[in-house]
């Protein structure tokens, strides 16, 4: 037990924030009418090429000051320094958390030490060399054909990060090699890809930290059977068609994966933070070594900002504090990610895992129960599609849902009418952000109905249905363009935001025992199905 730990609700700033939340806060209409330089400077930041506009958050200067005091009382930046130095902040698993080293291996003053940096550089060079050989046709299948299709097999962080980034950076992708992803052990997930592939020109990347993940090994076994059924039956024949990425190379070697085709990472790399490691090999194959290094550089630029910027100008910390305010003081248990670039289709799913697997906790670091809300329910997708689905609930439903809008300012698509497509997408982003914040009151609604020539009876009938309360807190994150550098910076931004919130709530962000429970029970059920049988119910054969 850590006797020095103070629960968040017992900190002075927390109580101050509670009092402010219970006071009559100005509506966002009033706050947005304040065009003062002070409000703009505190809620609009430009970092590593990203622009954050948080002016549509329902915060006053007093709230912002109290939030910064909460961060100071919680020791957020001190905990960040411990993370950088390689302290085992993942205490329940006794591990350091050093994914930043994956994108900062060339730092002259790296706090994690040269041994870590050297190991990272060596493995980075190895898997980027493999990526280039696959891209340019030097990596050949058993029968001498170049690789045309790469199928990534993994689940969780071994799938969501690379899948998200490959789609987001599709404009940089090789036309010679197609990268596919399969994570679901349902047989049709794999079959729907294999039906378009030829064994002689197909390469499988099997990704698992422990190389014991049931879903991944099930899919890998099916992939190997597919190769065998097409004449590639021996370990030697299959070797050019199989790559292993793992933190347990001895386990993968025992399963027949060639050491020269095995790429590693370390136990201090959490799955949802692993796209920067050899887990990012599918991304490196898609965009090439140079662009992958630019992706790392974008993440590192955000790291340096987070480490060095003062709290009031620190973008990840500001996003974290606004999330704390919405979650714990304004009573908003969910958070929406709405991207207005189709290539960011998977970004909400990526952030969902990053946030909910990290901060979905009910136990403090000292083992005591948490008495405040922790990680929100994160959901979302493409904003344009959401406008024709769930945005109705955002505008007039009974839930108050904070939103992160994500927009890309310039577009590099080659379609003749691409500029018009882009104009429409960004127009909708800005309109939705403003509409959610401002709403429409009875006076304005009544005037609009009268202007449409409706009689008094019809106006009275429609008026209650056409009022929008607004006051939905939202921020807009702008990328100047969707590039490896800006993508890297945005991913690192959300990583640090999640870290800051965990530090304030006093929870461990880097374990996931809830995930482990389901895996353990599946193994037990497989070994002894009858022990899980409920009275009167016949167990289904597995």
CATH code for the domain in which residue 110 is found = 3.40.50.10490
Other Cβ atoms less than 10 A from the Cβ of 212: the count is: 13
Q: Is the pTM of this model over 0.85?
A: yes
Kindly report, residue by residue over 439-495, the tens digit of the pLDDT: 999 999 999 999 999 999 999 999 999 999 999 999 999 999 999 999 999 999 999
Please list the active-site residues.
Answer: 357, 388, 519
Asked whether 71 and 492 are in contact (CB, 8 A), the reply is no
Asked whether 243 and 203 are in contact (CB, 8 A), the reply is yes
Query: What per-residue confidence (pLDDT) applies to 517?
Result: 84
Tell me if 188 is assigned to some domain: yes
Query: Packing angle between helix 289-308 and helix 114-135, nearest 10 degrees?
Result: 150
Look up tokens 């590192």; give the residue. 300
Spatial distance between the Cα atoms of 199 and 193, rounded to a whole number of angstroms: 12
Tell me if 488 is assigned to some domain: no
E-only strand ranges, 183-312? 202-207, 242-246, 262-264
Tell me if 18 is assigned to some domain: no
- Please give the structure tokens belonging to residue 41: 């400077």
Query: What per-residue confidence (pLDDT) applies to 1?
Result: 37
Tell me if 483 is assigned to some domain: no
DSSP assignment of 473-540 equals -EEEEEESS--HHHHHHHHHHHHHHHHHHHHHHT--SS--HHHHHHHHHHHHHHH-GGGGPPTT-PPP
Query: What per-residue confidence (pLDDT) applies to 334?
Result: 98
Look up tokens 């790296």; give the residue. 110
Asked whether 97 and 508 are in contact (CB, 8 A), the reply is no
Query: What per-residue confidence (pLDDT) applies to 34?
Result: 78
Query: What per-residue confidence (pLDDT) applies to 38?
Result: 58
DSSP assignment of 459-483 equals HHHHGGGG-B-----EEEEEESS--
Tell me if 170 is assigned to some domain: yes
Q: Total domain count for the chain?
A: 1
> Which one, of 414, 412, 432, 434, lies nearest residue 424 by Cα?
432
Kindly report, residue by residue over 410-430, the tens digit of the pLDDT: 988 889 999 999 999 999 999
Q: Is 332 exposed, middle or buried, given 0-12, 13-18 or 19+ CB atoms closer than 10 A?
A: buried
Beta bridge partners of 51: 46, 478
Cα 150 to Cα 195, 205, 206, 260, distances in angstroms: 14, 7, 11, 18
Tell me if 125 is assigned to some domain: yes
Tell me if 29 is assigned to some domain: no
φ and ψ at residue 406, rounded to 5 degrees: -125, 125
Residues of the chain with pLDDT under 70: 1-3, 36-40, 531-542
HSE (side-chain half, CA atoms, 13 Å) at 37: 0
Tell me if 424 is assigned to some domain: no
* Domain residue limits at 258: 99-293
Spell out a b/e string for 294-322, using b for 16 or more CB atoms within 10 Å of the CB, else e.
bbbbbbbbbbebbbebeeeebbbbbbbbb
SS3 at position 337: strand
Query: What per-residue confidence (pLDDT) applies to 542?
Result: 53
Count of helix runs (H) and strand runs (E) in the chain: 23, 11
Query: What per-residue confidence (pLDDT) applies to 474?
Result: 98
Spatial distance between the Cα atoms of 150 and 166, rounded to a whole number of angstroms: 12
The distance between the two most distant Cα atoms of the chain, rounded to a whole number of Å, is: 83
């Amino acid at each position: 037990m850590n006797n020095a730990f103070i629960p968040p609700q017992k900190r002075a700033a927390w109580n101050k924030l509670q009092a402010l939340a219970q006071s009559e806060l100005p509506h966002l209409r009033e706050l947005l009418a304040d065009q003062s330089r002070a409000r703009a400077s505190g809620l609009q930041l430009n970092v590593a090429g990203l622009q954050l506009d948080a002016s549509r958050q329902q915060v006053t200067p007093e709230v912002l000051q109290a939030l910064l005091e909460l961060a100071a009382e919680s020791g957020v930046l001190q905990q960040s320094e411990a993370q950088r130095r390689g302290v085992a902040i993942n205490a329940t698993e006794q591990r350091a958390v050093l994914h930043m080293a994956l994108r900062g291996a060339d730092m002259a003053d790296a706090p994690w030490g040269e041994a870590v940096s050297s190991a990272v550089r060596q493995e980075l060079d190895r898997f980027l060399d493999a990526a280039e050989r696959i891209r340019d046709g030097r990596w050949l299948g058993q029968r001498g054909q170049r690789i045309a299709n790469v199928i990534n097999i993994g689940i969780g962080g071994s799938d969501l990060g690379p899948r998200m980034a490959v789609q987001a950076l599709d404009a940089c992708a090789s036309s010679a090699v197609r990268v596919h992803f399969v994570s679901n052990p349902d047989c049709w997930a794999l079959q729907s890809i294999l039906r378009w592939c030829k064994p002689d020109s197909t390469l499988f990347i099997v990704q698992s930290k422990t190389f014991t993940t049931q879903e991944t090994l099930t899919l890998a076994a099916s992939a190997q059977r597919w190769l065998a059924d097409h004449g590639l039956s021996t370990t030697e024949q299959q070797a050019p068609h199989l790559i292993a990425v793992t933190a347990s190379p001895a386990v993968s070697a025992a399963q027949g994966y060639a050491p020269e085709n095995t790429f590693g990472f370390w136990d201090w790399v959490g799955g949802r933070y692993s796209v920067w490691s050899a887990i990012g090999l599918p991304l490196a194959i898609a965009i090439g070594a140079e662009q992958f290094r630019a992706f790392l550089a974008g993440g590192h630029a955000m790291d340096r900002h987070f480490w060095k910027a003062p709290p009031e100008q620190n973008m990840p910390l500001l996003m974290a504090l606004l999330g704390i305010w919405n979650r714990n003081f304004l009573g908003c248990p969910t958070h929406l990610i709405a991207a207005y670039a189709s290539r960011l289709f998977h970004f909400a799913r990526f952030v969902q895992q990053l946030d909910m697997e990290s901060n979905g906790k009910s136990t403090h670091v000292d083992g005591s129960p948490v008495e405040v809300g922790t990680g929100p329910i994160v959901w979302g997708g493409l904003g344009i599609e959401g406008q024709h689905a769930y945005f109705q609930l955002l505008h007039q439903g009974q839930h108050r849902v904070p939103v992160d809008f994500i927009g890309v300012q310039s577009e590099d698509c080659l379609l003749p009418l691409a500029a018009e497509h882009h104009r429409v997408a960004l127009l909708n982003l800005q309109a939705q952000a403003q509409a959610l914040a401002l709403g429409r009151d009875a006076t304005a609604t009544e005037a609009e109905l009268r202007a449409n020539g409706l009689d008094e009876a019809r106006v009275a009938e429609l008026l209650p249905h056409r009022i929008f309360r607004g006051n939905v807190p939202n921020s807009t994150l702008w990328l100047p363009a969707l590039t490896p550098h800006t993508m890297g910076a945005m991913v690192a931004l959300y990583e640090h935001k999640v870290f800051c919130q965990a530090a304030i709530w006093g929870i461990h962000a880097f374990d996931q025992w809830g995930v482990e429970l389901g895996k353990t029970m599946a193994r037990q059920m497989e070994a002894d199905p009858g022990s899980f049988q409920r009275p009167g119910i016949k167990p289904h054969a597995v």
